[in-house]
């Protein structure tokens, strides 16, 4: 337990010392928010036939989307790159030789994923409220909190899985950057999903971020718990954990 | 310098063994990295492993620690089977791996603090920090350390859980001469504290200075083992004695004890032989009324033994 606590604390410090992680997980989503809200504003489209924003203002639509984007940056980019580089450089070997428990290594990563997701969520929500007057709280907190926890855990587990199967930190980073931007564009955190063409939408449906955003957006906007999305996101969580146990390698 | 009395292999089974390795094998594709290695390390001993690059030293010590899976053979560390009881193994073993790094931005003190937190038996890492000359670098990031400083940190990490048996794989590679001597003194101290040490090294002076017994590896096998002096005596080759004289006839010298061959080049004479050659040669010369001013012997070192052993083709298993 002491090892887990120490390792989590150290990983947190390392995270704040790593510019790449900070840029992708915290700065970039914030930048997208400024640009897209600058373009679309927060006017509700009154004509339902014209509306692509689920009946709310674009800025309100984007808040939960960016919370998901932060989680995905951790899950597909910063965590896999870190784990793969630990393996590549013999850090995991070093841990193993010193009897660092596997659950402490992975637990600290998941803890960092959760913490960063919360910090990202709080800062994005506050910034968006201050600049664009969006809501500071989810419309349905009771449903939103578990949705948020499920989504963050799921991306955390996906990060462990990608970190387990990626052979090198370079491949992890390359694949991660690609996945991050494809998800950004097709999962509803860039252009609203309504304006995507059929094939784009179909591809988007295969991406975890799409379902994470739906899972977060529904309770945030007051549409309640989305059972379909929650089943998909929970499956990603369970599948990632199972495959990680199967494929995790210390070296 | 304190050195335990020379431990003869025969006596070992009667003593407490820290490590018993029997018939260890590990194959990588066509390479037999470790090809039937057996040895025993007594508690409190410093046991050296030397051998050319790729001779299987690292593979052996990592299989012994269950960091790699051996194909065959049995290992006991203080009676513990590393394959079945990893948790007990890790609590008695410290390990400095030949190839491992730490996260670039991790600071020196954080590394020690973290690794100390894993084990309940941990020593005070602040002492290790001072002992291994890292106090000034306490807040430095791992990436900013020099090669030798990194190495010292990794050795300190190997010792942080106060192990009963510590594996040091090329501990002093990359250390400057002064730091190497400091490291040697620290290893002496660790042994005085009762810790058994398995030391893999390419430095023959280090092995000679520190080790009670040494195993020489070649192509995945142990081709010789014994005390440093024993290896020198058995394998370093002829002793030689040099002197100068104008005496024309030295044929009587051939009858002196231990002399095998005499080479002459003008007034310079080289006597080849075995045993305490210098003493016998000197006595014989003086008895014949010759007292050369430049009479001297070449001290054979472990390096001579090593070179002779590893150059030989088709060596025998010790
Ligand atoms: N993971 C591996 N995969 C394939 N071959 C390996 C692996 N590890 C070691 N070998 C091979 O096994 C042999 C022994 O390697 P090992 O690292 O044990 O040598 P060593 O004695 O420690 O050498 P050095 O003095 O260079 O450290 C070498 O031929 C090496 O190429
Ligand atoms: Mg080696």
Q: Does B194 share its domain with B140? A: yes
DSSP 8-state secondary structure symbol assigned to residue B316: P
**Same domain for B190 and B90:** yes
Domain match, B81 and B29 both: yes
Confidence of residue A189 (pLDDT cuts 50, 70, 90): very high
Q: How confident is the model at residue B313 (pLDDT cuts 50, 70, 90)?
A: low
At B134-151, the pLDDT tens digits run 999 999 999 999 988 998
Across the interface, whether the CB atoms of A100 and B157 are under 8 A apart is answered no
On whether both B201 and B279 belong to a single domain, the answer is no
Per-residue pLDDT of B31-58, as tens digits, reads 999 999 999 999 999 999 999 999 999 9
Tell me whether residue B316 is in a domain.
no
How much is the pLDDT for B312?
A: 62
Q: Nearest chain B residue to A82 by CA: give it.
A: B103
Chain A residue nearest residue B108, CA to CA: A10
Whether B204 and B226 share a structural domain:
yes
Task: Determine the atom of ligand 1 nearest the C-alpha atom of B60.
Answer: 18
Q: Nearest-CA residue of chain A relative to B163? A: A98
Both B101 and B144 in one domain: the answer is yes
Q: Which residues keep their CB under 5 angstroms from ion ligand 2?
A: B 57-58, 98
- Cα–Cα distance, A155 to A121 (Å, whole number): 15
Quick one: pLDDT at residue B32?
Answer: 94
Chain A residues within an 8 Å CB radius of B86: 99
Q: For residues A30 and B48, which has the higher predicted lDDT (pLDDT)?
A: B48
Q: What is the pLDDT of residues A90-105, one digit of tens each?
A: 999 999 998 898 899 9
Interface pTM (ipTM) of the complex? Answer: 0.86
Tell me what pLDDT residue B3 has: 42
Clarify whether residues B165 and B293 are in a common domain. Answer: no
Of all protein residues, whose CA lies closest to atom 22 belonging to ligand 1? B58
Query: How many whole angstroms from B60 Cα to the centroid of ligand 1?
Result: 9
Rounded distance, CA A102 to CA A110, Å? 12
**DSSP per-residue string spanning A92-145:** HHHHHHTT--HHHHHHHHHHHHHHHHHHHHHHHHHHHHHHH---SS-S-HHHHH
Let me know whether B213 and B266 are in one domain. no
Confidence of residue B15 (pLDDT cuts 50, 70, 90): low
Contact between A3 and B97 using a beta-carbon 8 Å cutoff: no
Cβ burial A10-33 (10 Å sphere, 16+ → b, else e) = bbeebbeebeebeebbbebbbebb
Task: Provide CB contacts within 8 A for B136, sequence distance 6+.
Answer: none
Q: Has residue B307 been placed in a domain?
A: no
- Reported as a single tens digit per residue, the pLDDT across B50-87 is 999 999 999 999 999 999 999 999 999 999 999 899 88
Distance A215 CA to ligand 2 centre (A): 52
Q: B311 lies in a domain?
A: no
Tell me how many domains chain B contains.
2
* Contact call for B113 and A100, based on CB within 8 A: no
CB B60 within 8 Å of CB B98: no
Collapsed DSSP state (helix, strand, coil) of residue A223: coil
Q: Which CATH number characterizes residue B257's domain?
A: 3.30.70.980
d(CA B114, CA B16): 32
Q: Which member of B87, B97, B103 has the closest CB to residue A97? A: B97
Q: What is the CATH number of the domain that holds B123?
A: 3.40.50.300
Alpha carbon dihedral B82, B88, B94, B98, in 10-degree steps, equals 30
Q: Does B103 touch chain A (CB under 8 A)?
A: yes
Query: Is residue B56 lining ligand 1, measured as CB closer than 6 Å?
Result: yes
H helices present in chain A, as ranges: 2-17, 19-22, 28-40, 58-72, 79-88, 91-97, 102-132, 141-165, 169-186, 198-205, 208-221, 227-247
Residue B304 resides in a domain: no
% residues pLDDT > 90 (chain B): 62
Spatial distance between the Cα atoms of A87 and A98, rounded to a whole number of angstroms: 15
Residue B12 pLDDT greater than 60, yes or no: no
Helix axes A169-186, A198-205, angle to 10 degrees: 130
Domain that holds residue B162: 2-234
Q: Which of A33, A250, A73, A220 is nearest to A142 (CA)?
A: A220
Are B52 and B67 part of one and the same domain? yes
Say which residue the tokens 């005070």 belong to. Answer: B124
- Asked if the structure places residue B309 within a domain, the reply is no
Please give the Cα distance from A2 to A100 (Å, whole number). 11
B166 with B203, same domain?
A: yes
**CB–CB of A3 and B117 under 8 A?**
yes
Domain end marker among B199, B234, B269: B234
Percent of chain B's residues with pLDDT above 70: 93
The pLDDT-based confidence of B11 (bands split at 50, 70, 90) is very low
Per DSSP, the three-state class of B188 is helix
**Interchain proximity B86–A100, CB inside 8 Å:** no
Task: Please report whether residue B278 resides in a domain.
Answer: yes
Q: Is the CB of B98 under 6 A from ligand 1?
A: yes
B245 shares its domain with B112: no
pLDDT digits (tens, 9 = 90+) for A43-78: 888 888 888 888 888 989 999 999 999 999 999 999
Paired tokens of B116: 């100390």
Choose one of B218, B234, B250: the last residue of a domain: B234
- Where do the H-state alpha helices sit in B25-76? 57-64
Closest CA to B42 of B16, B22, B63: B16
Last residue of a domain, one of B210, B234, B258: B234
Question: A91 at the B interface (CB within 8 A)?
Answer: yes
In a domain, B188, yes or no: yes
The model's pTM is 0.83
The answer to whether the CB of B218 is under 6 A from ligand 1 is no
Residues 125-154 of A with CB under 8 A from B: none
| Domain match, B83 and B164 both | yes
As a whole number of angstroms, the distance between CA B290 and CA B267 comes to 13
Nearest to B156 by CA among B179, A149, B178, B176: B179
In a domain, B183, yes or no: yes
Within 8 A by CB and 6+ apart from A38, the residues are none
Give, using CA atoms, the residue closest to atom 28 of ligand 1: B54
């Amino acid at each position: 337990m002491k090892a887990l606590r120490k390792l989590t604390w150290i990983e947190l410090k390392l995270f704040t010392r790593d510019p790449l992680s900070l840029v992708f997980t915290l700065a970039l989503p914030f930048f997208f928010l400024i640009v897209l809200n600058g373009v679309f504003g927060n006017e509700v489209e009154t004509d339902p036939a014209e509306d692509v924003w689920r009946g709310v203002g674009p800025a309100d639509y984007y808040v939960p989307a960016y919370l998901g984007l932060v989680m995905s940056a951790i899950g597909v980019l910063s965590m896999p790159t870190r784990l793969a580089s630990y393996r590549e450089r013999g850090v995991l070997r070093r841990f193993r030789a010193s009897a660092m428990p596997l659950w402490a290594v992975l637990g600290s990563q998941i803890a960092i994923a959760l913490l960063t997701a919360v910090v990202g969520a709080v800062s994005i929500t506050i910034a968006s409220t201050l600049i664009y007057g969006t809501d500071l709280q989810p419309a349905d907190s009771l449903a939103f909190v578990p949705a948020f926890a499920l989504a963050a855990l799921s991306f955390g587990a996906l990060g462990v899985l990608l970190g387990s199967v990626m052979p090198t930190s370079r491949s992890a980073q390359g694949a991660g950057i690609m996945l991050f931007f494809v998800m950004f564009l097709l999962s509803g955190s860039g252009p609203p999903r309504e304006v995507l063409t059929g094939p784009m939408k179909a591809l988007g449906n295969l991406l975890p971020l799409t379902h994470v955003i739906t899972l977060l957006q529904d309770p945030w906007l007051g549409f309640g718990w989305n059972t379909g999305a929650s089943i998909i996101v929970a499956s990603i969580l369970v599948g990632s954990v199972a495959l990680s146990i199967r494929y995790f390698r210390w070296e | 310098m304190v050195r335990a009395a020379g431990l003869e292999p025969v006596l070992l089974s009667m003593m407490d063994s820290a490590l018993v390795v029997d018939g260890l094998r590990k194959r990588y594709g066509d390479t037999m990295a470790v090809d039937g290695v057996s040895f025993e390390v007594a508690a409190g001993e410093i046991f050296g492993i030397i051998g050319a690059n790729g001779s299987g030293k690292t593979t052996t010590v990592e299989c012994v620690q269950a960091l790699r899976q051996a194909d065959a053979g049995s290992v006991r560390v203080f009676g513990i089977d590393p394959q079945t009881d990893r948790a007990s193994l890790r609590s008695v073993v410290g390990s400095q791996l030949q190839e491992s790094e730490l996260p670039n931005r991790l600071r020196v003190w954080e590394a020690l603090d973290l690794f100390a937190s894993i084990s309940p038996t941990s020593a005070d890492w602040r002492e290790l920090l001072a002992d291994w000359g890292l106090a000034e670098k306490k807040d430095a990031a791992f990436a900013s350390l020099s090669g030798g400083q990194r190495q010292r940190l990794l050795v300190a990490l190997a010792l942080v859980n106060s192990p009963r048996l510590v594996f040091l794989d090329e501990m002093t590679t990359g250390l400057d001469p002064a730091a190497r001597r400091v490291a040697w003194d620290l290893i002496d101290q660790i042994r005085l504290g009762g810790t058994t040490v398995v030391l893999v090294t390419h430095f023959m002076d280090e092995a000679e200075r520190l080790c009670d017994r040494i195993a020489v590896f070649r192509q995945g096998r142990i081709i010789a083992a014994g005390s440093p002096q024993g290896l020198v005596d058995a394998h370093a080759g002829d002793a030689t004695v040099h002197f100068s004289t104008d005496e024309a006839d030295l044929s009587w010298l051939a009858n002196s004890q231990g002399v095998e061959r005499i080479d002459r080049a003008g007034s310079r004479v080289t006597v080849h032989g075995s045993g305490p050659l210098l003493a016998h040669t000197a006595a014989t010369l003086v008895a014949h009324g010759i007292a050369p001013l430049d009479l001297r012997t070449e001290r054979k070192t472990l390096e001579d033994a090593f070179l002779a052993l590893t150059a030989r083709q088709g060596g025998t298993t010790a």
